[in-house]
Chains A and B, each alone.
Chain A
Amino acid sequence: MLLEMKNIAVNYGKINAIRNISVAVPEGKIVTIIGGNGAGKTTTLRAMSGMLPITAGEITFEGKRIDHLPAYKVVANGIAHVPEGRRIFPDMTVEENLRTGAFLRKDKDAVEEDLEDVFTRFPRLRERRTQMAKTMSGGEQQMLAIGRALMSKPRLLLMDEPSMGLAPVIVEEIAQIVEEINANGLSVVLVEQNAELALELADYAYVLETGNAAMEGPADELHGNEHVRAAYLGL
C-alpha cells in the first residue's frame, strides 16, 4: 500500500468529526471517498495531509509514519493536496503560483521541465502565465490548483471536490485530466460530492456517513449497489 490510514479519529473541540476511519491507497490507483455533506470526507483528507491532528489511529505513507508531521512536512514526503475551493494565491501570477508549488525542490532543471509539462497539459495556464490568479475563471483556477500540486512532483495527489462549482463541460475536462495524470503513474485520492463522477473515475471507493465508514468496495460494484444508487446517485 502506498498510503494506509488505520482507525483514524479527528475531533473538532469536543465534537467527533470522524471515527474509526480506515483508508488504503494502492500504488497507481484512484481511490475515492464519497458521502453527503458533513460526512467527514474533507476531514479525512485533511488528516492525511497533516492539516488536522488525529486523536486516534495511525497513517503510514510508503511504510513511514506521517501522522505526527505538520502539513508543510507531509508535502516533503511526496503527498500533494489540492484543497477544497482551490485556494490558489489570488495576488500572485499563474507562474508564481506554479513555482510556489515547487517550493521544496532543489532540482532546478527538473522544475523547469515540470513547469513546461504543466503548461503543455494546461495550455490556458501558459496563455495566462503572467496574469494574476484571481482574474481567472473557476475552471482555470482549478487547473492552476492541480498544476501547482503537480509541481511538487508528488507520488500521491489528494483532491478535494475538484468539480465543485464548475460547469459540466469543465467538470468533464477536469475528469479527463485526473485520468491522464493517473495513467502517468500518479496515485490519487479523490473526495467528491459528485458520486457519479467519482465512481466513474475511481478504482476503489469508500462511503462515509456522519463520520463513520458505511461501505467500501471496488468502484463499479458500489456503482451497482442499491443503497449507493438511492442515496448518492439519485437513481
Chain B
Amino acid sequence: MLDLLAQTGLNAVYAASYISLVAVGLVLIFGVMGVINFAHGELFMAGAYAIVALYAGLNVPFFLAVAAGLLFVGCLGLLMERALFRPLKDNPLGGLVASIGFLMILQALAVMGFGVRMVHIPPVTQEVIAFSEKVRLPVARLYVIIAAIVLLSALWYFLKRTKFGWALRASAQDPEAAALQGISITQTARIAMFIGAGLAGIAGALTAPLVSVNPHMGHSVIVTAFIVIIVGGVGSLEGAIVASVAYALVHTFVTTFWDGVLADIVGLSLMLLVLIVKPTGLFGSADRA
C-alpha cells in the first residue's frame, strides 16, 4: 500500500510538471495580452509534432529536437501575436475567436502533415530509477519534472528580478501606466507570447515519447489548464503552479484508486467548489479579475 501511494505520488508530480508548464504559459499570455488563448493546447500538440518530425523522422538527437520544438512553438506564438492578437487588440472576444480559428488551422496542418492516427515515437531512454521493487520512475518522466522545475524557476527569476520581467508584470497590471514608464506594450506582448507558447511547446515535446501523439491531443490538455488557472486565480502565476500540483495530485490519486472518468468529475467539481467559495480563485484578487 505504501508503495502504491509513493508510486502514485511520483505519477502526480510528473503530471503536475507538464500541466503547470502549459497553465503558466496560458496565464502569462492572458495577463499580458488580456486574451484567452484557446489554441494553447494546439501549441502543446505542435511541440509534440516537432519531436515526431525531427526526432522520430529525421533522427535528430532528442534534446536538440526538444530545443527546436521550443523555438518553433515560441515562433508560432510570435506569429499569433502579430497576425491575430495585435490587430484585434481592442477586441478581446475577437482575439478569443481568432485563437479558436488558429487552433483548427494547426489541427488541420497536423492531419495533413502526419495523418489522423497516433504516431509512435521510439523511446528516448528505457532507463528507470527504481526506488524499490514497486516504486519506479522512468527517466523520460524525470526529464519532464526537471524541465518544469528549471524553466519555472527561471521564469520566476526573470519576472521578479529583471527589468524586462518587471516590464512584463507592469504591462499585465496596467498597460497604460506601463507605457508611461517607457515600456512598449507591443514588445512585452511579444515576449509574453514567445515564453507562453514556448513553455507549451517544450511540454509537448518532452511528453511526446510518453503519450499518444495525435492531432487532437491538445484538447484534454487545454481543459485541464483552464481548470487549473480558474482554481489558481486567473492572472496569478503562483496560483497556476499551486493549482497544477493540487489538481495533478487529486486527479492521479482518483484515477489510480477509482477511475479516470471519476477523476475528471472530481476535478471539475473542485473547480466549481473553488468558484463558489472564492470566485477569484485561490490566489486571485478581485481588482484584477
Q: Do A and B make up one complex?
A: yes
Check B169 against A89 for contact (C-beta < 8 Å): yes
Check A71 against B179 for contact (C-beta < 8 Å): yes
Interface residues on A, range: 20 to 34
Choose from A70, A90, A148 the contact partner of B287 (Cβ within 8 Å): A90
List A80-107 residues whose CB lies under 8 Å from chain B. 80-81, 83, 87-92, 96, 99-101, 103-104
Check B173 against A91 for contact (C-beta < 8 Å): yes
Check A51 against B177 for contact (C-beta < 8 Å): no
Cβ contacts A143-175/B at 8 Å (1 or 0 each): 000001000100000000000000000000000
Tell me the count of chain B residues lying within 8 A, CB to CB, of chain A: 20
Q: Is B259 an interface residue (CB 8 A)?
A: no
Q: Is B57 an interface residue (CB 8 A)?
A: no
Q: Is B288 an interface residue (CB 8 A)?
A: yes
Cβ contacts B142-171/A at 8 Å (1 or 0 each): 000000000000000000000100110110
Chain A residues with Cβ below 8 Å from B288 are 90-91
Q: Is A32 an interface residue (CB 8 A)?
A: no
Chain A residues with Cβ below 8 Å from B179 are 51, 70-72
Q: Is B176 an interface residue (CB 8 A)?
A: yes
Check B163 against A103 for contact (C-beta < 8 Å): yes
A87 to B182, CA, bound (A): 15
Chain B residues with Cβ below 8 Å from A101 are 181
Q: Is A75 an interface residue (CB 8 A)?
A: yes
Choose from B163, B173, B185, B285 the contact partner of A72 (Cβ within 8 Å): B185
CB-nearest residue of chain A relative to B160?
Answer: A96
A10 to B287, CA, bound (A): 30
Q: Is B274 an interface residue (CB 8 A)?
A: no
Check A75 against B180 for contact (C-beta < 8 Å): yes
A20 to B141, CA, bound (A): 68
Choose from B174, B176, B181 the contact partner of A103 (Cβ within 8 Å): B181
Check B163 against A87 for contact (C-beta < 8 Å): no
Cβ contacts A192-219/B at 8 Å (1 or 0 each): 0000000000000000000000000000
Check B169 against A72 for contact (C-beta < 8 Å): no
Check B181 against A75 for contact (C-beta < 8 Å): yes
Check B166 against A92 for contact (C-beta < 8 Å): yes
CB-nearest residue of chain B relative to A158?
Answer: B180
Check A87 against B181 for contact (C-beta < 8 Å): no
Choose from A83, A96, A152 the contact partner of B177 (Cβ within 8 Å): A83
Chain B residues with Cβ below 8 Å from A99 are 163, 166
Check B182 against A75 for contact (C-beta < 8 Å): yes
Interface-centre pick from B176, B178, B179 (highest chain A CB count, 10 A): B179
Check B176 against A87 for contact (C-beta < 8 Å): yes
Q: Is A43 an interface residue (CB 8 A)?
A: no
A51-B176, A70-B179, A91-B173 known; A96+B287 contact, CB < 8 A: no
Q: Is A134 an interface residue (CB 8 A)?
A: yes
Contacts A49-B180, A90-B174, A100-B178 known; list 12 others, CB within 8 Å.
A51-B179, A72-B182, A72-B183, A75-B181, A76-B182, A87-B176, A87-B177, A87-B180, A91-B285, A100-B170, A103-B181, A152-B182
14 example contacts (A-B, Cβ-Cβ < 8 A) are as follows A51-B179, A70-B179, A70-B184, A81-B180, A83-B177, A87-B177, A88-B177, A90-B288, A91-B173, A92-B169, A100-B170, A103-B182, A104-B181, A152-B182
3 A-B pairs closest in CB distance: A104-B182, A75-B182, A87-B177
Q: Which residues of B contact A (CB under 8 A)?
A: 163, 166-167, 169-170, 173-174, 176-185, 285, 287-288
